[in-house]
A and B are shown apart, each in its own frame.
Chain A
């Protein structure tokens, strides 16, 4: 579905990603793990079209999207749920969700997706008239994910969904991600909770200073020395 090949990405002229290749098949949950500064967020932003690669190619459903604008990439069916949620604080929960369906013209589909998101995160329904900024961190993360689902994406990219949440909520959040996977949504996950991210993933990649250094199934990666030493402290 998504095929990223040998991309190099610069940030203000400085290469942040040197050589990264990975792919995501339809229905898979793929996790990308790595230390802070290894280029995970840059990678997702590049797929989302905020940044463009200097070299290499990005294909989505066999179409080159490495030069496409964010708007076109969203329209093609990739949504990015950014790090630190980036919800619209002064707008209500429901307004936030409806903005997530900005590209959807069919009112029925919007209502259907709204029901789907409320079913997934019932707390959002209770708080639908509340302003986004009044929600707790966990609820804001649910809102950010819900907003990302509102356009019926083919590929959902989640950037550190557990960031800044208390441990109990981290589990809840990751369970929600597992639920989404169970429903057949294709997910590309970047996560600091390495063990959990790899345990639930079909496949994963380990990123180090802008290069993919390991790839494999979640279990395989959990057995590699670098993951054990650098991330799990074993």
Chain B
């Protein structure tokens, strides 16, 4: 019973982080119908940004969140204006391979700069601390990550529904041509979608570094989870990304605990496969 409770709590916590990671992918796909294969690398950049800022300036890792968000935003904007915009003029295959190329480039650029070593943060407000509630141990970094992920997610969700900019992004996602007839600068909205995608995953990276090690190829793992999450939630759906993120957390943690840790990612891909076969538009897809 205690084990189930602990696992469920851990699953929810990780689920919220997965949701935040998937959010950026969902926004970019929603607005542009492009899958950003470099999304995991954006996370890696966010993690290194937080790691380096915290170690070099010896500051509290949580204070690096806005910096990671900013770097992520700029990375997203730069990817759009320097690469993706040109890919759109080419055939479909160029769009697929283009962001794939960006993924390889960022991954091995990081390898060049940082080497293949695993790095972790050792000091921080949350790092290494936990609290025992009855039989359940709550880890501070995971708890903090879950709360802040949900907060970041909530802000974006609110922005999409209640601000003029969010509405314009939504309209662009729904029908780019019709959005143009409303006088919406759809080109700017596309750049902004990449910026937001980068910023949110940058924040996720800066949170993750509080309890996970960073290395140049970490993107693969989270990118695949994010793909499966977005596919399950429905490509382009923000609500879907949230619920699917929680489900992914459950699958990974419950599966890992009760079926065997070696199977947990196989379960993720099995889910991905089943969604594609049974309900390709996902739970909340348009």
Contact = CB atoms under 8 A, between A and B. Distances in A.
Interface of A: 48, 50, 70-71, 74-75, 79-82, 86-91, 95, 98-100, 102-103, 147-148, 151
Majority-rule SS of B interface residues: helix
B152 to A, nearest CB: 24
A91 B181 contact: no
A79 B170 CA distance: 20
Given A71-B185, A90-B286, A99 B180 contact: no
A87 B185 CA distance: 17
Nearest to B286: A90
B185 A86 contact: no
Contact of B183 (A75, A88, A91): A75
Contacts, number: 59
Given A79-B181, A99-B184, 18 more contacts: A70-B181, A71-B185, A74-B181, A74-B182, A75-B183, A82-B178, A86-B177, A87-B178, A88-B170, A88-B175, A89-B174, A90-B174, A91-B167, A91-B174, A99-B179, A99-B182, A102-B168, A103-B182
Contacts of B89: none
Given A71-B184, A74-B183, A75-B183, A50 B177 contact: yes
Interface residue range, chain B: 10 to 19
A98 B166 CA distance: 13
A82 B171 contact: no
Given A95-B167, A99-B167, A86 B178 contact: yes
B132 interface: no
A203 B246 CA distance: 61
A48 B174 contact: no
A97 to B, nearest CB: 10
> Closest 3 CB pairs between A and B?
A74-B183, A103-B183, A86-B178
Interface string B130-149: 00000000000000000000
Contacts of A82: 177-178, 181
